[in-house]
Amino acid sequence: MRVAVTGATGMIGSAVVRALIDRGDEVIALTRSGVRARSVLGSGVEPHEWPNPEEAPPPPAALDGAGGVIHLLGEPIAQRWSEQAKRAIRDSRVLGTRHLVAAIAALPEERRPEVLVSQSATGYYGPRGDERLDETCEPGDDFLANVTIAWEREALGAGAGGHPGLRVVLTRTGVVLASGGGALAKMLPPFKVGVGGPVAGGRQYVPWIHLDDVARAMLHVLDDGRANGPVNLTAPKSVTNAELARALGRVLHRPAVLPVPGAILRLMYGEMASVVLTGQRAVPKRLTELGYEFAHPDLEAALGDVLGR
């Protein structure tokens, strides 16, 4: 299949591109910089520059004749949320998706992709304590939930109106465990020197998933014609922040008992700290119904794989 991938040079995008190439797909990388795409992804992709996703649609040639699109574009969440940063987080997702959908709609019907897999996030649900959250649950009403609602609405527009034949899948992805990036990279330094531990009591749930399973699950819903609408990308067994800290300590052979006060996180990250201090107990109900088999269903084994232990 010819597959266009936005955000192709990011942590998730790079893994998705590798998985597509490994199975023999033809990959088009939509990127702000073709030079960076070649450097990060190698010669096995066809790069097309999309320098201003918030301002204009991507080049039609990148989408023309593609069987599917995997849309992963978005400003990083893990930063201090100034008003400027919040605007960039929202606009990169909402406006970028709007322009992508407009480009798909502008193609002749016979040249349009058959499926759009559009990245989303478990932040859709907002802070909900220990409530088990599947894809039928209502959204939250905090900043990230509102961004995600608007983001998904734009993606769903690709399957409405004049082109209802396009299948749209919304992959609500949790906390991705990966080497050298993501949430784990921020957790490791204190644990490595023996001062890691649970955050703010550790009772909040962490909707974790291994990077390999993110990429594999995205290909699964790309291929499976039954996949439609929201699909939670989280591991089968939810864990609390305290359980994550203990598992990470065991993998690193370091103590994991020193608590991290929530006030410290708020001082460091401001409003963004709420992501770590609350969390969601999101479960992969739809993914399981679609017959997906996790490569890394166990947290401690997943951490060991990511960290090479």
Burial profile 239-265: b = 16 or more Cβ within 10 angstroms, e = fewer: bbbbbbbbbbbebbebebeeebebeeb
Q: What is the pLDDT of residue 176?
A: 96
| pTM for the whole structure | 0.95
Q: What is the pLDDT of residue 156?
A: 95
Q: What is the pLDDT of residue 161?
A: 55
Q: Which DSSP symbol is given to 142? A: S
Domains of the chain with bracketed CATH:
2-176+209-234+283-294 (3.40.50.720)
Q: How far is it, in rounded angstroms, from Cα 11 to Cα 165?
A: 30
Burial profile 266-295: b = 16 or more Cβ within 10 angstroms, e = fewer: beebeebbbbbbbbbbbbbbbbeeeebebe
Query: What does DSSP say about strands 205-206 and 239-240: parallel, antiparallel, or unpaired?
Result: antiparallel
- Give, for all 309 residues of the chain, the pLDDT tens digit: 999 999 999 999 999 999 999 999 999 999 988 888 888 898 889 999 999 999 999 999 999 999 999 999 999 998 899 999 999 999 999 999 999 999 999 999 999 999 999 999 999 999 999 999 999 999 999 999 999 999 999 999 987 655 557 999 999 999 999 987 888 888 888 888 887 889 989 999 999 999 999 999 999 999 999 999 999 999 999 999 999 999 999 999 988 878 888 888 888 889 988 988 999 999 999 999 999 999 999 999 999 999 998
Which residues make Cβ contacts (< 8 Å) with residue 260, sequence separation at least 6? Answer: 190, 197, 198, 199, 200
Query: pLDDT digit string (tens) for 65-84?
Result: 999 999 999 999 988 999 99
